[in-house]
Structure 1
Amino acid sequence: MNPHVLLSIGLTALSLAAPAGAAFAQNAVIPPPAVAFRRATGTEVGARIDRALAVPALKNAVVGILVRSLIDGRTLYERNPDLALVPASNMKLLTATAALVKLGTDFRYKTTLLHTGSIDRNGTLNGDLYLRGSGDPSLDSKRLLEMAQKLRAAGVQKINGRILADATAFDDQRIGDGWQWDDEAYYYSAQVAGLNCDENVIALEVRPADRIGAPAQVVVGGADSRLLAFEQTRYVQVTNRAVTTPGATTGAAGLSTGIKPEAKLRFSRARATNELIVGGVIPLGSAPVSEALTIEDPALFTATRFGELCPVGGVNLPSVKDRRIEKGKTPPTATLLVETESTPLGDLVKQFLKRSDNLFGEALLKTVGGGTTGAGVQAVVDVLKDGGVDSSGLTMADGSGLSRTDTVTPRLLTSLLIFADRKLDTDRRGALINGLPEAGIDGTLRNRMKGTAAEAHVRAKTGSLSNVSSLSGYLQTKRGERLVFSILMNNFALGNARAARAAQDAIAVALTDAPQDMGRGKTARPRGAKE
């Protein structure tokens, strides 16, 4: 583990009135909670929260909760609010806030094409072409094709040299500290680099053959892929071990039972290679099954993809056999030919939070850190300090929350949310809050809290790992009061994630449906608590 990447922070409490810099609006100071370890168990809402947590699935879980009013910042309910717990994707709240503060909502990533050598009268580039990235996590095959078309429009009809991927905007650490090795093949563990394309994953679509016992059909770039339909990539190799099996089963009389067996497929990638492996069985007549797998070395993948799309865009290359695609740093004397930009950061943050996109988290953290994760973590700490947010209990190993070495407290998250609501300027504040999934409406909350009082009244970030579930964000009660809350759940038994989410939803509904002014209601100590 790189000790410069993983930072465990134990700062002293800082006043929320601390100077906040140009990104912060000049709003009223938010007082911190006056008393620790209290909760509104003496109220109807507190009792409902207690009941939501008293389910067998959470019997052995460690739960941290803090609910605060946005009117004055006072505590309305808490349970272990200062306990450092694994947040999963709730860590994205810190990354998004730091990116908005440090970069601004109008920031755009730039990807450029530059060349050495000369372009002759026939449009042949006698030199090397450099594809230089800035870490854009949203770059895809469509934009690479547009770059190839712009290259043709700039007068280049043929490249008589190498295509070089310049990913030096970021360091060479492509996965986060504390990521599990057996997750590396799957889309949520996509590697990050200074050049990324199609989220650094390849979709495979598996279909049954037309006869039992035959190898299944595997299509690179199936329906879920971002690869353009007219061009598949040669960057990966597929090993197909999947077999077609019988469809609907038959009974003793030879009649169909109507029971359709399910496909049982295994997807993996040989470590440190681009060999994608499919195994298992798929019954005759089954619908296609898709899975997105990661690729090794995103920079080389992006340059390879660009080379594959150049002929489609009207730019000829040497034959595949003679084509040279490598990695290298752009020389300062190179001449700019083509440039493409991402959408503004405000839009990228929305995609990052609503989809809970891990690649975006790692790219954004490295971006605010000038190319390294360690410096990105320090940038987050600086934002918290400047915003007056106490970062006690924070251990940050990555920008997405995929690392199990990440820890955070409910108090930190609620303080961060209050800071964002009160002290960020209008554009940054709007980008963060509007980027959060909305209960029952969109993002990772689109299927949660539907038909309840919380539907369309909760904007919050979800988080999920094995034995970890979290939900932190904003909600508005039926009386119109706005609250911030953080619910972190760790160490429940495998198979109980759905029950954990149900408890979180029940808490959000109880708060939204509060029959009184929560911000001015009386709080009480939990049963059995000591003074």
Structure 2
Amino acid sequence: MSNFLSHLTAAILTTALAVPTFAAPVNQTLPPGVAKSLAANKIESDALSVVMLPLNGDDTPTFVNADVSVNPASTMKLVTTYAALELLGPNHQWKTEFHGDGPLIDGTLNGNLYLKGGGDPKLNMEKLWLLLRELRANGVRTVSGDLILDRSHFIQPALPIFDDDGGDKNKPYLVGPDSLLINLKALRFAVRNDSGKIGISVEPPIANVRIDNRVQALPSGKCPAWPDIRYSPVTDGDGVKVTVTGKLAAGCSGQTYLSLLDHPTYAAGTVRAIWKELGGKILGKDRVAEVPEDARLLARSYSPDLAEIIRDINKYSNNTMARQLFLSLGAEFRNEADGDDSKAAQRVIRQWLAKKDLISPHLVMENGSGLSRAERVSARELASLLQAAWRSPYAAEFISSMPLAAVDGTMRKRLRNTQVAGKAHIKTGTLNTVRAIAGYSRDDDGNTWAVVAILNHPRPWGASSILDQVLLSLYNRPASANTAQR
């Protein structure tokens, strides 16, 4: 009898294995509008990876070149920000502190003043001013010793300096992360022609930045959108001299942002400038060291919640803040084997993805911002991450951090006067040879889709119109067989 049962079991198994399995229907062709736009811009179809996944409903997904390893540009920020939401929590905050190592007597700190950075991505001028006001309110007016910067929070990686166009190294978007990042290390130069008199101001008013004003004043005229003003910075001793040239008509103004100082010089200069405005004095010099264990806490500031931080990162594609967040993940979970916080962040994110069953063999992360030639991912991997985020408890925070088509952020001027306006939360990505979009968009039936479209091409001219056509084609897609049967 047992022999009969064994033969019967084998027969059933053989029959079961012989039954063909039918995979869910998948579309593997580009929408006609997208293919037409590619042809019009003379870009080969194999340069474009597209994935469209229905998140509610049972429509047919699209996978075109979905498993090709591509450079995602700034859409990589979605990996970093979603991982941070789940690993750190939406209410995670960073702290910045002032410490003193001597007694406070009659308004004088008889010792050194320490500023300890905690990696805050958004320690701007207003927050630093409030922190210094708290220091002043706690009785400090004069510091007899040095201003000491503690930049030990991050273990910095040795990464190559990125400059996509090989041009101006002083562009603010190239600013690297730092444990004590203040105001994104940006200097704002404002030039005005007031009745023939040229005035130039710098904010913050750091003493190490000196201006050589050579701007020519012109009579009254129409103010151009881009005034003919040029800035030529030259490192000079412990600071920088900026020669400003060009022409400016009466009543006109212009401004620009530059990053000219290293992190310690900028941080110390900004602290001294604000402290001077508040009537305070620091008698010693500036240097970098760690806060002693016996130092006394004098004032503390907290950053906005992470949910607000990722909104700035994704809406405006802020590279410096994204890199700051990436290193914060590493600093939070580092172990002795990691070496630096970039490697720690890479390890932590891969472990997190594995726990979510998001297998990502193409994923390569260098700094977490997408401002990299080394970073890679496939469209399928990024779309799968968006699909997982849709089911996350923090889906609302994540989705709302992305630019809204035709409304704000880097999508503010795109898809205006179309059906997609206001219906798609889309992160953009741009490098010299990359154009990308990734996020969530609705179709004409009100269903939501995860959408990824990444174009890697030596000459991606017209790519924005191609990627916009992906969203328009999704909105106006023809009804699938599943939809027609409902």
TM-score (norm 1): 0.77
The 5-angstrom pairing of residues 81-480 of structure 1 reads 81-120=66-105, 122-173=106-157, 178-180=162-164, 182-207=167-192, 217-221=199-203, 227=204, 232-239=205-212, 243=216, 263-267=227-231, 269-270=233-234, 275=240, 277-278=242-243, 281-285=246-250, 287-318=252-283, 323-370=284-331, 372-422=341-391, 424-425=392-393, 428-480=394-446
**1:150 CA displacement:** 1.1
Partner of 2:4: none
Partner SS, residue 119 of structure 2: coil
**1:69 CA displacement:** 1.4
Residues 74 and 481 from structure 1, CA distance in 2 versus in 1: closer, same or farther, beyond 3 angstroms?
closer
Report the AA paired with residue 511 of structure 1. Answer: L
- The equivalent position to 1:506 in structure 2, one of 463, 469, 473, is 469
Rg larger in structure: 2
| Partner Cα distance (1:61, 1:245) in 2 | 53
- The equivalent position to 2:56 in structure 1, one of 71, 75, 83, is 71
**1:207 CA displacement:** 4.1
**1:389 CA displacement:** 1.5
| Partner Cα distance (1:174, 1:263) in 2 | 38
Instruction: List runs of 5+ in structure 1 lacking aligned partners.
Output: 1-32, 222-226, 249-257, 523-531
Partner SS, residue 70 of structure 2: coil
| Partner Cα distance (2:57, 2:418) in 1 | 27
| Partner Cα distance (2:241, 2:376) in 1 | 33
Residues 261 and 338 from structure 1, CA distance in 2 versus in 1: closer, same or farther, beyond 3 angstroms?
closer
Report the AA paired with residue 504 of structure 1. Answer: L
Report the AA paired with residue 99 of structure 1. Answer: A
| Partner Cα distance (1:166, 1:502) in 2 | 47
| Partner Cα distance (1:182, 1:36) in 2 | 48
- Calculate the aligned-residue CA RMSD, in Å: 3.1
**1:188 CA displacement:** 0.7
Residues 405 and 210 from structure 1, CA distance in 2 versus in 1: closer, same or farther, beyond 3 angstroms?
farther
- The equivalent position to 1:55 in structure 2, one of 25, 40, 51, is 40
Residues 519 and 84 from structure 1, CA distance in 2 versus in 1: closer, same or farther, beyond 3 angstroms?
farther
| Partner Cα distance (1:36, 1:242) in 2 | 65
Answer whether contact 2:146 2:282 (CA < 8 A) is retained: no
Answer whether contact 1:238 1:276 (CA < 8 A) is retained: yes
| Partner Cα distance (1:521, 1:395) in 2 | 40
**1:299 CA displacement:** 3.5
Partner of 1:529: none
**1:260 CA displacement:** 7.7
Partner SS, residue 58 of structure 1: coil
Partner deviation per Cα, 1:405-457 (whole Å, 9 max, x = no partner): 222211111011011112x22xx222111101111111111111112111111
Partner deviation per Cα, 1:271-310 (whole Å, 9 max, x = no partner): 8985364565335348322211114322342232112222
| Partner Cα distance (1:512, 1:56) in 2 | 22
| Partner Cα distance (1:240, 1:341) in 2 | 39
Partner deviation per Cα, 1:68-112 (whole Å, 9 max, x = no partner): 111379862232111112211111111101211221001001001
| Partner Cα distance (1:366, 1:353) in 2 | 17
| Partner Cα distance (1:246, 1:86) in 2 | 49
Partner SS, residue 364 of structure 2: strand
| Partner Cα distance (2:136, 2:194) in 1 | 41
Answer whether contact 2:220 2:249 (CA < 8 A) is retained: yes
| Partner Cα distance (1:268, 1:388) in 2 | 52
The percent of aligned pairs where both chains have the same amino acid is: 25
Answer whether contact 1:458 1:475 (CA < 8 A) is retained: yes
Please state which structure has a larger fraction of its residues in helix: 2
Residues 206 and 238 from structure 1, CA distance in 2 versus in 1: closer, same or farther, beyond 3 angstroms?
same
Answer whether contact 1:365 1:373 (CA < 8 A) is retained: yes
**1:394 CA displacement:** 1.9
**1:493 CA displacement:** 2.1
Partner of 1:26: none
| Partner Cα distance (2:225, 2:88) in 1 | 51
Partner SS, residue 322 of structure 2: helix
Answer whether contact 2:240 2:261 (CA < 8 A) is retained: no
Answer whether contact 1:472 1:487 (CA < 8 A) is retained: yes
Answer whether contact 1:196 1:302 (CA < 8 A) is retained: yes
Structure with more contact order per residue of length (Cα contacts < 8 Å, sep ≥ 6): 1
| Partner Cα distance (1:285, 1:278) in 2 | 20
**1:360 CA displacement:** 0.7
Answer whether contact 2:223 2:252 (CA < 8 A) is retained: no
| Partner Cα distance (2:404, 2:428) in 1 | 11
The total of aligned residue pairs comes to 454
Report the AA paired with residue 233 of structure 1. Answer: I
| Partner Cα distance (1:512, 1:488) in 2 | 18
Partner deviation per Cα, 1:365-407 (whole Å, 9 max, x = no partner): 0000017222222222222222221212222221211112222
